[in-house]
Structure 1
Amino acid sequence: MRVLFAGLSEKSHLYCMVPLAWALTAAGHEVRMASTPALTDVITGTGLAAAPVGRDHGVHEAMAQARGSQDEEFANWSRLGPGEVDWPSLRSRYEISVPYGFALYNDPVIDDTAALAQSWKPHLVVCDPLAYAGAIAARVSGAVDVRLLWSADVYGRARRTYVDLMSQVPPDERVDPLADWLDKRGAPFGVSCDEELINGHYTIDTLPPSLRLPSALQELSMRYVPYNGAAVWWDWLREAPERPRVCVTFGRSNAEAYGGDYVSVPEVLGALAGLDIEVVAALPPEQRAALGDIPANARAVEGVALDTLLPSCSAIIHHGGWGTYSTALVHAVPQLALSTKVADLEWRGQSLERAGAGIFAHHSEVTADLVLRHTRQILDDPGFASAARRLGDESAAMPSPRDMVATLEQLVAER
């Protein structure tokens, strides 16, 4: 098969696609990763073949100028199910999100991605759920269109809610910014919008089933396999720690896109200074260099992949990002998520609480006392570790990316 991956031009989103892309490559299929020129070196660094398309977006510049936007109501997609939102509110969400979110990411690459699909004719297109350029490319080439989620499927649920609410209002009030935009952008390629274009033929979900949103879409389960880029299994990670080890990390995305983390690493380390634990702060090089003095029970490290660190940890304190959250799930590590409300972060944090495997707090609530209290709670109550193991076992029972290859081959053959 010829397989085209179409993701958003974000490194963290790309990394979610790498294990499946490599499984398809190892099975003998031709795989190309379509993204903006800015991600070319990142893609080739994974060993996969990059297909640069379009031009780089300006989303990060807009984000840095609006740090508070992560907590604006329009950015929170966690409470948009049936009965949770009314028509005016959800319509307003789309009226803002289409031009200032979806289009900013997709408009720079739609034409080139569609043209690439017309000429190369992939049999399968694997899309980021917000990479509508990939959906248009799949339609243009007649390919099977598969969404690969990097979140709980809050966007799919919101779309179903939107269609249902729209059917209940008078015809002259029925506006659809998403469909109108996709109609306009797909028109040069003979593509018009319908719900299949928006939702794809199939959706691959890597969340354990007990943490998923209900869905009417055709879902495929695949185990999350962590990919952290370049990784070294350092010698100090090869022996069990003498005390409970707690990882503290806030990733790179907020610092790179929004100009800084939303929670202070020194404040968190200070809050944990009196505990008889080993704290490992996994930081980007620039954050580690700026850290200054740290408590005696802590070490700050750079260049440590979470996939190599978390198997030795009793807990993790983090920002709620998908890769960190999912890596902790597969390694059965209880989590304290100190997060914003953008995308699905609130829903995922609260679902982790409901499962008993972690605690969610909004970053505005974070104090040294809160961090200390919740960390003690997670470490002292064995129920958190037990629930995390249940989720880890649930993840391990899901099909691997290698297993998914056979499923995708069959779906393409059937179509």
Structure 2
Amino acid sequence: MNRLRVTPGPVPVLATVWLATRALMLWLLAHDGSPLLGGGSVAREVWRLYVHWYGVLAQGTFPTHDPLWQYPPGAGAVLLLPGLVPGLTYFQAFVGLTLAADALIAGALVRAGRRDGRSLLGAALWTGGLPLLLHLPLARYDVQVTALAVLSLLTAARSPRAGGVLGALGALVKGWPALVLLGTPRGGPTRTAWAWAAGAGTVVLGLLSLSLRHPLSFLAEQGGRGVQIESLGGTALNLARHAGWSGRPHYQYGAIELVGPYVSVVAAGSLALTAAAFGLLVLWRLRARHWNEATPYDAALCAVLLFTVTSRVISPQYMVWLLGLAAVCLTSRRTGQRPVAVLVLAASALSTVVYPLCYGEVIAGSWTGCLLMLGRNGLLTAAALLSFLRLWRACGPSAAKSGQTTEPHPDSDRLPERALTPS
């Protein structure tokens, strides 16, 4: 008698992979003291720095005159939350809440991917891509920020109001989620999303200002940052050390930065490139004529990529943002960012080799460290340029003639949510 062979569906497989990979990430976090894993530098961010900030915030004020505090006031609420979890240490509660945010992202991507005409590739990218960063995502609050950005994008199509509110909350926590509203469709959706974002941001900022003193103290410290060794400018200066440049690495503002001649020029150049990137995004927005369901997702990934590669700081945890946004793009079969997502995955894997595995080589400015940074930043730069090029082509006047995109069906937001039948 033949036995019926049952093949598990994609969602149980994704759930199994998520559980296995997150268990591995927790194991790596428990062994963070290993020299190969950074000698404790990854987890130290939570149990030393975040715990210190929690103590200050619990007294009713933001950290003032602290060069390491460079975050918008919403970050204070995120860092206070682990201290309110009963029965756990701050570190345990922080990691638990980070895993909860990770699971929320995965669940939202699965739900979006199971709609008719959508794809579970986004959930697969997030599930398998985040562990490429080893245990780093569990010891930073970037997963929580990414959750707000992902939910904003996935919600905005059905409810621009909710999308705007979530985008504003993310921006109050770490700034960059404000960019996810860049690609909202013209007309009513844009006006609604941006108006609700402005209103919610104003209200929440007011509440935080009433609860905690000095909410804008981060601005002075953020403006004083220099050129981080992992940025594009930092990579150029590190290479210049082999040509006789007299600068050196120095720990300041919570990161390894390069100090010496011409650093201010490189920093100014980075700011100029960021301004140029903003100008390109505004030009795209003014020129774009054709939207489809993936356009808001693609525009968000493109915007964050451009601002990341032109920044004076490219910390390894920034890859968490890009993985989350790339995953949202892949939930739609109409995205033009698939090759960009591949580049983001490759850059994430190489970023882990840079930090924590070979960070000593990067700080020393050895040829190994320089080549690693050239590779990681080269992949990010290629991803940013390709992302903008594909977004430009997909939404320009020539898109309709070439058949690259069409306007979404007027009832597309009200299609029933039925699970896709796996082929």
Query: Relative contact order (alpha carbons < 8 A, sep ≥ 6): 1 or 2 greater?
Result: 2
Larger strand share, 1 or 2: 1
Q: TM-score, normalised by structure 2?
A: 0.29
TM-score when scaled to structure 1? Answer: 0.29
